[in-house]
Amino acid sequence: MTRYRYPLKSVLGDYLRAAAGLMIALGLLLTGALPWFVALLFGALAILFGLFALRTVKRQYLEVSLDDQGIATLVRPGDPETSKGRFPSYLAWQELTGMKLRYFGSRRSHKKEGGSGFMQLTLTGRTAGPAGANNRKTTMSFESSLEGFPAIVRRAAEAARKQDINIDATTASNLRPLGIDLNADTPEGLEV
């Protein structure tokens, strides 16, 4: 089993973004001199940046475990050796029902090689086999700043191929830069 985490550098960047957004939105709201529609706008922005801050906290402590049977996530604050962790989630590869790989970036990063965009992998499926006690639907989402992201995408693509899951054109197109071609007989980077 291999464990991955979001590196501190990417988490710090998100903390700075959340702090900057909250400072601007809350700072202006606290002046109390805003007309109602401007206050509404900055209130919505404060909520958005607040949610982003909470997501970043969760991401800082997120631990992703990958093996041949499935992928597991756990939010583990504190010492990884002693902490039990919270919000455990598990997705068995044989229960994978959907895979999406999206790319988000500025117009420039869409057109320019090595741009500042990022990828997002979304996996849907069930926690265990049909006979499993905790067999429920689950969705997992990872961004490309996660350590071992290419390995997770390769493993998910391999499972999607084995399960004969319909992959949309956008995902197939985004897999190619990672050296994964689902249409090839022996896809590069896949252990078939």
Q: Give the residues lining the site for other proteins (CB under 8 A).
A: 10, 14, 17-18, 20-21, 24, 28, 31, 33-35, 38, 45, 48-49, 51-52, 55, 102-107, 109-120, 143-145, 169-170, 173-174, 176-177
87, 154 in Cβ contact below 8 A?
A: no
Distance CA 178, CA 188 (A): 9
State the minimum distance, in angstroms, from the CB of residue 170 to other proteins.
5
Tell me whether residue 4 or residue 49 sits nearer to other proteins (CB atom).
49
> Bridge partners of 102?
120
Tell me whether residue 28 or residue 71 sits nearer to other proteins (CB atom).
28
State the minimum distance, in angstroms, from the CB of residue 92 to other proteins.
26
Residue type for position 140: M
Burial class (CB in 10 A: 0-12, 13-18, 19+), 48: middle
State the minimum distance, in angstroms, from the CB of residue 17 to other proteins.
6
Tell me whether residue 126 or residue 155 sits nearer to other proteins (CB atom).
155
State the minimum distance, in angstroms, from the CB of residue 32 to other proteins.
10
Burial class (CB in 10 A: 0-12, 13-18, 19+), 178: middle
Tell me whether residue 127 or residue 174 sits nearer to other proteins (CB atom).
174
168, 97 in Cβ contact below 8 A?
A: no
